Every structure is written in C-alpha cells, then in structure tokens.
Amino acid sequence: MCYYMFMKRLLSIVFFLVLCGYCFAESPASDKTEKTVKNIFGFDTGILATDISYGTGKTFVLKFNANLADFYFENIKTGLGMEFFPINYSYSLSANEHTLSFAKLYLIWNMDKVMGINFDGAGYRLTFGPFLSVQTLNLVNFENFNTNFSYSAGIKYAIKENALKSPVSIFSSNIELGYNYSNSRHSIYFTIGLSPIGTLVSILVSPFAYFSFLFNGGF
C-alpha cells in the first residue's frame, strides 16, 4: 500500500506539472518567437545504462539496459515532448533474466523555457523535467512473448550532442530518478547511462588517460 500511495502522489504531481506546461503555452507569442523554430524532430543512437532499484519485498535489483534508436520530438514553446525507443534490452542480475521490448514511449516536459533558463548551447540540447513512460511488447529470455505494460514516472536529465548541427545526436547522456511498476513489482529506481558511441569512446580513452596520468606524475 505504501508504494501504491507513493505512485498515486507521484503521478498526480507529474500530471499537474504537465498541465502547467499547457497553461504557459497559452500565452501569446511575440513576433520574434514566431520566426524561430517551433518544433524539434531528431534521432539519437540511444542509451546504454545501469539501473538500480529498491522495491517490493525490500529487495535491490541491478539491471543493465540498452535503449536503442531514439526518435524524439519537442515543442519549443511549451517544452512538451515525446521519445520513442523501438529497441529496449535489459538484463536483471538477480533474476538472470533477459527482456527485449519493442515499444517504449516517454512523455516529457522540458522545464527550461518555463523557468526562464536557457540550458541549450552550441551543438547540444539539454532536457530537465518530469516524465511519464510506458513500455510493452516484451520477449522474455528470447522465448516468451507478452504484452504486459510497465510504467515509470519521475525526473529526467539528459544531454544530446548533435553532429554538425544536424537532427542526429551521436553523443548523449541520461540520468533518471523515479518510480517504476513492472510485473507486479513497485520500486524506486535510479538510472545513469551514455550513448553507445559515448560508452565506446570512454572505454577506449580511459586506458590512455590513466597511463598519461601516471607518466605525468599522478597526484
């Protein structure tokens, strides 16, 4: 019951914040705003992440996730946006279970414009705000297919770095903190991840950075 009440309160808060986004959107736009880009459409390679959660049964669960091929949209004026991942793989260490999902949808409210803060810089875009997500079409252990739904809600912080001012993002990072309901399990979770290319670059660069650090005297 404790997790159920927390879920209701969290979803109510996120829903209220999204409604606030629509209220802000009703204000008339200036001539300058009308001449700027109204919507952003883009593609991201995805995120490789580590997920730790604490939930039903007072248990901790550690997962490795790969959410690939991210198609995203955002309305600049309201900050409201969506993300869709058609390929979502996760591996649970405790259950030794593989899950491949073919549909994960995010609804996000990017709060930078509403707060009057310009987070964006040359060549990259930052998202910070509440989100709701739903995931379904699951293949468990590459054998059993089901259409069970899992739901998440919380706060998302993400950076997407675009290649040569194109709508394609190659390097990205993502942090999420929130609530998740999946397979009758309620949990609070924390996720941190990098794009596949960002992860590969980090792995390749780390040894060179380490030896360079040692040869230059360390501390």
Give pLDDT tens digits for 64-98: 999 999 999 999 888 899 999 999 999 999 899 99
What does the block give as tokens for 199? 């992860």
The pTM assigned to this predicted structure is 0.76
Predicted confidence band of residue 139 (pLDDT cuts 50, 70, 90): very high
In terms of Cα–Cα distance, which of 149, 169, 147 is closest to 159? 169
In terms of Cα–Cα distance, which of 125, 132, 134, 135 is closest to 155? 132
In terms of Cα–Cα distance, which of 74, 81, 83 is closest to 103? 83
The beta strand positions in 56-197, using DSSP E, are 59-75, 80-85, 87-92, 97-109, 124-140, 144-146, 150-162, 168-182, 185-194
Count the Cβ atoms, other than its own, within 10 Å of residue 39: 10
Burial 53-92 (b: 16+ CB within 10 A, else e): bebeeeeebebebbbbebebebbbbbbbbebebeebebee
What are the residues facing 131 on neighbouring strands? 108, 154
At residue 106, does pLDDT exceed 80? yes
Predicted confidence band of residue 132 (pLDDT cuts 50, 70, 90): very high
pLDDT digits (tens, 9 = 90+) for 5-64: 655 565 566 555 555 554 554 443 443 443 466 888 989 888 999 999 999 888 999 999
Predicted confidence band of residue 216 (pLDDT cuts 50, 70, 90): low
Give the three-class secondary structure for 13.
helix
